[in-house]
Chains A and B, each alone.
Chain A
Amino acid sequence: MDWSLFAELALNGAMAGLMYSLVALGLVLIYKSSSVPNLAQGAMTMLGAYFVLEVGRHLHVPMWVAIPLAMLLMFGVGIGIERVALRRLAGRPIIMILMMTLGLDIFLRAIVLTVFGSSGRPMPIGIPDDPLFLGPILLNRSYAVGAAVALALWGLFVLFFRSRRGVVLRAISDDYTASWSVGISVERGVALSWAMSAAVATIAGVLWGSVQGVDQSLSMLLLKGITVAVLGGLDSIGGAILAGLLLGIFESVASGYLDKLVGGGSRDLVVAATLILTIMIRPHGLFGRHDIERI
């Protein structure tokens, strides 16, 4: 066994996995506050990336200005989605909610492609292409930046959930009827979590856009985001980070060795298999709450 190959696969996988965590973080934020599994997170990631490019193009501002502006825009989009589409579905059966987020996914994706065009574009955020050398191991610089941002966001959220507003959100996720009765505005809290999730999706869109270009394939990150979120436990921020690391390493190493056997393309298979196994063995994930019903 070639240890440097293994280490390279594992390290690059770990960093790519932390970038999956960026998508998963958005899912977890929404699920935590409103128990809505947001299947439109992939489309929101894509929308965020396109917003950054369009803001940069139309306002002629550099990237580091365009990204916060686009995040602000997405903040509004998140609030809008919650207000228009999801609030009226509160308390409805889960099939309606899942279908609604699927409808949103289709709608957002098609609208983005209609308005901005479907040709792939680069996301120039100034990360050089040459790899980082760590002894005999080559590391992808974009992945390293993405992993660092994911860890920073995790730290930010840990701090946020200790602030006053964060405590409010935690109360809502714990029991929204009780929060209501002590005067917490549940609607506002849920809207805030959608908005934060949309802003996080923008960051994920920018980082993934710099890795693979900005096009429709950004919305395919949904499956990976969901797998990470489920593996970590759908309501655990720290779980999303750790599960991202694990899935990234597992996916990279397993497909690195499997691809030779089956002739490529085994990444999605590994991810789907991880999702199935997680749900079969431990549906509440690594750190999720245990109240998910087993039958």
Chain B
Amino acid sequence: MLFRQAGIHHTDYASDRALFPVPADRIMIIGLLVLAVTAPLTTSSLTLSSYLLPWLVWTSATLGLNLILGWAGQFHFGYAAIMGIGAYASVHAARNGVPWEIAVALGGLTATVIGSTFAFAALRVKGLYLALSTLALQFVMDWVISHVPAISGGTQATLQAPPMKLLGQPVTSEIGFYYVALGWCLIVTLFMLNLRRTALGRALVAVREKDFAAAVIGVHSFRYKLVAFATSSFIGGVSGAILIFTFYRAVTPEQFAVNVSIELLAMVIVGGLGSIIGSYFGAAFILLMPGLMNSLIGWLASRAGAQLGVEALAHIPHAVYGALIIIFLLVEPMGLGKMYANLRNYLLVWPFGYARK
């Protein structure tokens, strides 16, 4: 029905290997792109700047974490620290007069260099121990960022992000910020889509499945782990920088604390390990859920005539957030991306279910 596969025969390799071999997918992607580009015209500026924009930036960060967690299968419990390094490096560069594009790239490169040190942990241990050592590295990074005045600008300090100029053009409006975020998110998505079918992506998957089996077939697992950490750190660093320049406009250490790392992990898990569309779903889910939950609970309480304290209202969204992680892991461990894939597979040959391969 929606994704009709019947009657579509690929007669050459190029069409078979296209990014979206089913026309329905292509039509849907074009439709979504049109919606995304025209969003400033169709949505209110509040929706644009406080929902769509952070969603796009967090999605790019989630994709970056998914690269390391879902594709390369390496734990990273300190991804927020990587984003923070990118953010601080780019803000410092921009404050010192470096053009914006170069400042952001510098942020990404700094994150890559420091993030690759996380890879040295991955070269020695894996599994639980890698998770714990990256978690510890997150604490070390937090401490360094907030205790070194040259980075954070002193204790409890907030560093203002300088005005943004893209290719010499000042970007000041919400719409401009939105397009910058959209552009970055599209670049990352395209990269990840293509990663699946390149030698690099396949090598990463081989390392994930069994690293010594990968070594047997000639994949240098050390090198690919390093590449995975470096690439994902670059994506994280640039996403952190863009988050600061387009959304927060100022950078403080708390924006990249350990709970943000856990939130990012939750986005990947809820969205689905190794799923690109799932990263979009997961980021949206984790970002929008607290707000929705608050209004829902407020509404329910007013309907029931119950009085809820400010404290209860502040903590219930967290409880729901924790409960959702638990429920997802119990019900659908591969996340929203898998749910979407199930639905899509069902609809591919609907109503001829027996025709499925």
Question: Which residues of A are at the interface with B, using a C-beta cutoff of 8 A?
Answer: 37, 85, 88-89, 92, 94-96, 98-100, 102-111, 113-114, 117-118, 223, 226-227, 230, 262-263, 265-266, 268-269, 271-273, 275-276, 279-280, 283, 292-295
Contact = CB atoms under 8 A, between A and B. Distances in A.
Contact of B121 (A99, A106, A273, A279): A279
Given A111-B315, A279-B136, 7 more contacts: A89-B330, A99-B265, A269-B140, A271-B139, A292-B125, A293-B127, A295-B126
Interface residues of B, number: 43
B139 to A, nearest CB: 4
Given A269-B143, A272-B143, A105 B333 contact: no
Q: Chain A interface secondary structure, helix, strand, loop or mixed?
A: helix
B308 to A, nearest CB: 9
Given A99-B269, A102-B325, A279-B133, A118 B311 contact: yes
Given A118-B311, A280-B121, A95 B273 contact: yes
10 contacts: A95-B69, A96-B333, A103-B266, A109-B318, A114-B316, A275-B136, A276-B136, A276-B140, A279-B129, A293-B127
Contacts of A294: 124-125
A95 B75 contact: yes
Greatest chain A CB density within 10 A among B129, B211, B324 is at B129
Contacts, number: 138
B270 to A, nearest CB: 10
Given A96-B329, A99-B269, A276-B137, A283 B125 contact: yes
A283 B129 contact: yes
Contact of B127 (A92, A94, A265): A94
B213 interface: no
B355 interface: no
B187 interface: no
A100 B311 contact: no
Given A111-B319, A269-B140, A102 B128 contact: no
B336 to A, nearest CB: 15
Nearest to A115: B312
